[in-house]
Amino acid sequence: MNCHPKLTYKCACGAVKVQIKPSPLVRMFCHCSICQKLSKQSYADDILVLAKDVIIENPTAVSYKKHTTIFPLQRGECQHCQSPVVAFSTLIPLVKIAVTPTQFYGHQVKLPKAVAHVFYDKKEKIGDDSLPKYSHYLSSQIITVKFILTIIIKKLLCKW
């Protein structure tokens, strides 16, 4: 997991532009029912970064909503095209992370391969790969926390 140079992406209509500062990227597949609904796919393909490395250029175009009380995630969507443009969570106290949809990154950088499937008990479609698969709330949370800690550690080694 290496650091990438500064990246940018836009929502589907272009109203929301997001900058990602150099940081390690962790890519995961989430099968939870909310991700299925918002991504309109059988699972969401997401990239996790630290929230402090994310700059939303026009934050007023994003509206945030918490879709469930158990999962601590504020999901932001573009007010114009309703793209799930970014979500924020404080899964570890004092460490805010951002969840960003892989599809918006385009081809500006060679994106890392996904490291895991989470909330696999909710799967609609079987992942045809050999990645580790975590079912249920607790194990999905624990593995996500582990990857966030990896980001924090790897970030110290970034040369950008």
In this complex, which beta carbon is closest to Zn ion, that of residue 11 or of residue 48?
11
DSSP β-ladder status, 116-118 and 26-30: parallel
Among 7, 20, 28, 35, binds Zn ion (CB under 5 A): 35
Q: Taking CB under 5 A as the rule, does residue 37 contact Zn ion?
A: no
Among 7, 32, 49, 115, binds Zn ion (CB under 5 A): 32
Q: Closest distance between Zn ion and the C-beta of residue 45, in Å?
A: 11
**x/- site string to Zn ion, residues 66 to 85, per CB under 5 A?**
------------x-xx----
Q: Closest distance between Zn ion and the C-beta of residue 140, in Å?
A: 8
In this complex, which beta carbon is closest to Zn ion, that of residue 15 or of residue 131?
15
106: region left, alpha or beta (phi > 0 left; psi from -120 to 50 alpha): left
Among 4, 7, 11, 62, binds Zn ion (CB under 5 A): 11
Per residue, what are the HEC states of the chain?
CCECCCEEEECCCCCCEEEECCCECEEEEECCHHHHHHHCCCCEEEEEEEHHHEEECCHHHEEEEECCCCCCEEEEEECCCCCEEEEEEEEECCEEEEEEEHHHHCCCCCCCCCCEEECHHHCCCCCCCCCCECCCHHHHHHHHHHHHHHHHHHHCCCCC
Q: Closest distance between Zn ion and the C-beta of residue 71, in Å?
A: 8
Q: Closest distance between Zn ion and the C-beta of residue 114, in Å?
A: 13
In this complex, which beta carbon is closest to Zn ion, that of residue 7 or of residue 28?
28
- Where on the chain is the footprint of Zn ion (CB under 5 A)? 11, 13, 15, 30, 32, 35, 78, 80-81
